[in-house]
Amino acid sequence: MNDDIAKVLIDEEVILRRLDTVADKVLADFEGNEILVVGILTGALVFMADLCRRLPVPLQIETLSVASYHGGTESSGVVEFLDAKLPEVKGRKILLIDDILDTGRTLKAVKDKLMTMGATSVKTGVLLSKEKERAEEVEADYVAFEIGDEFVVGYGLDYQGRYRNLPFVGVLKEEVYSR
């Protein structure tokens, strides 16, 4: 699997160290309030798990599934909610977690949905934020790393369902896309 990687952008140690800082910010912002962490599947899974373990306060974890990418590297432009039943969020202070902020469509759509469903507040956290113009006006409250506008995998992020289990964030070799 590592043979498919052209370069490592952010290694495991750097990611985990940075999460300590992100967690401190979250703890300060949510001080005294129970946190409802909502992770967007499947990409947020690894980031959410590592971040939550750095939040030693009462919290609950929920997930929801959306589709905007369909196995490739380009956004389809439409965010579709896939769950028959979404988490109960009325009156809750939410920390919404996603793997990466790209066009902004996913984070904007999910944040808006949670607010419409009666959440008291929605703070957003992403592992990665691509430096580019967004299709939607949205930025995350917590960004672990800013990256350039290139397709990345690892630490939860996939290409055609693979590479999520890599402990680092990296870029695939060109040849992988033509297989």
**Which residues of the shown chain bind ligand XMP in the complex (CB under 6 A)?**
40, 43, 68-69, 75, 98-107, 151-153, 157-158
Check if the beta carbon of residue 70 is closer than 8 Å to that of residue 98. Answer: no
CB of residue 75 vs ligand XMP: minimum separation in angstroms? 4
Quick one: 70 or 120, whose CB is closer to ligand XMP?
70
Residue 101 forms beta bridges with which residues? 129
Rounded to whole angstroms, the Cα distance separating 119 from 91 reads 5
Check if the beta carbon of residue 123 is closer than 8 Å to that of residue 142. Answer: yes
83 is catalytic: no
CB of residue 50 vs ligand XMP: minimum separation in angstroms? 17
N residues, the chain: 179
Quick one: 118 or 148, whose CB is closer to ligand XMP?
148
CB of residue 69 vs ligand XMP: minimum separation in angstroms? 5
Q: Which of 102, 112, 149, 158 is catalytic?
A: 102
Burial of 102 (0-12, 13-18, 19+ CB in 10 A): buried
Quick one: 76 or 120, whose CB is closer to ligand XMP?
76
Q: Which residues are catalytic, by number?
A: 102
